[in-house]
Amino acid sequence: MALPWQPEPLPRSEALLYAALPAYREHGLARFGPDGAVYSADALPVLERCRRTPLHADDLWVLASPKCGTHWTAEMAWLIQHDCDFAGAQSYLAPDRTHFLDAAAIMSPGWRQAAQQQGSDAVCRRLLQPIDGRPRPRLVNTHLPLSLCPPGLLDTCKVIYVARNPKDACVSYYKMLMSDSTLSPETTIEDFVTLYTEGKMVCLPFFPNVLQAWRQRQHPNMLFLTFEEMKRDLRAVIERTAEFLGKKLAAEELDRLQHHLSFESMRENKWVNKEDRIKGQKGADGERLSFMRKGQTGDWKNHLSDETSQKMDRWMEENLRGTGLTFVAEAPQQ
Ligand code: A3P
């Protein structure tokens, strides 16, 4: 299925963008689809393949903008979908238990080639496997906005969307891209906030992604969650998700799952924390790589100046006005 939209290349004159992202300088980035989602400029065939993904009624999709709690939600969803099979959860969440649909579109051509070569990191290579051979029921996760997902997705499959206060998602994204050396070391958080709010970063813009799902929140196949409510009352979110998936959890299973999904437990869990792959590595900022970084709400206060925070407030106000969606600045911790 060809995408009915032509990509719009982000030209080299986008000096801030390409200064921040050296890996994309050669081949560039482009905007795709009606909301201008940013992916590698050569990603059209990948995105068309994503749109052709065959759908089965027992597939479960987890959608989120980057750093909004995708892995947390996917771990919860997989365990509920698989009747609390904690033994089965002892294999990598990504790529072995979830299918990361748009991974290849995110990678620059150079990364993709390196990942496909023999002798490359096997986990990274498995990330690029086609979905066809995956056992069902499948768990698909993606940063694609609904507009780039297969038509008919919501009418066929259950979809969980997880949103997060974009100030925290932005700081978390900055920290991740800096620590894995995707961002050039001179990129400041202020530069990153400019790119983030202008939707000029891979997998952005943020608001069209979130608001498309928000508008579908009453659809019987949509469960709209937030990172902040997971922090505030994880048990209630687990119960809601189980009900959404038509599963009944025994009290002991609920206790065990709640413990399993705590930040402390997930940080130590090698099947979700990516430590095997990033052990000991230091990023461009000299900080030790850690995928499970802080797991808090309101961490933006430690990183954004008043001026930058106010700039984000204005951007949020403009985009949220009239939508009914609000984000709490800091959820009370459990
Ligand atoms: P921080 O960088 O703020 O710590 P994603 O999976 O979408 O990439 O999101 C990653 C963010 O979710 C990181 O945020 C990570 O620490 C946080 N996270 C993952 N598991 C979590 C958990 N069990 N509890 C709280 N936060 C969690």
Domain boundaries, the chain: 8-317
Q: Which residue, chain included where needed, has tokens 């979905």?
A: 131
pTM: 0.95
Report d(CA 142, CA 140) in Å as an integer. Answer: 7
CA distances from 6 to 45, 107, 148, 211, 249 (A): 12, 20, 13, 23, 46
Alpha helix stretches (DSSP H) within 59-119:
70-81, 103-106, 109-116
Report d(CA 56, CA 86) in Å as an integer. Answer: 24
With left for phi above 0 and alpha for psi between -120 and 50, is residue 324 left, alpha or beta? left
Chain centroid, CA 322 distance in Å: 25
Q: Which pLDDT value is given to residue 232?
A: 96
Paired strand residues for 224:
161
Does residue 164's CB lie within 6 angstroms of at least one atom of ligand 1?
A: no
Paired strand residues for 25:
none
CATH topology of domain 8-317: Rossmann fold (3.40.50)
State pLDDT tens for residues 23-41.
999 999 999 999 999 999 9
Q: Which pLDDT value is given to residue 329?
A: 81
Report d(CA 204, CA 31) in Å as an integer. Answer: 9
Q: Which pLDDT value is given to residue 287?
A: 63
Does residue 195's CB lie within 6 angstroms of at least one atom of ligand 1?
A: no
A 10 A CB-CB count for 273 gives 17
Whether residue 92 contacts residue 139, with contact meaning beta carbons closer than 8 Å, is answered with: no
Does residue 172's CB lie within 6 angstroms of at least one atom of ligand 1?
A: yes
Based on its alpha-carbon atoms, the radius of gyration of the chain, rounded to whole angstroms, reads 19
Report d(CA 230, CA 334) in Å as an integer. Answer: 9
Report d(CA 78, CA 139) in Å as an integer. Answer: 7
Residues of the chain with pLDDT under 50: none
Residue of minimum CA distance from atom 19 in ligand 1: 72
Does residue 197's CB lie within 6 angstroms of at least one atom of ligand 1?
A: no
HSE-CB for 171 with a 13 A CA cutoff: 20
Which two structure tokens, joined as six digits, stand for 64?
């989120």
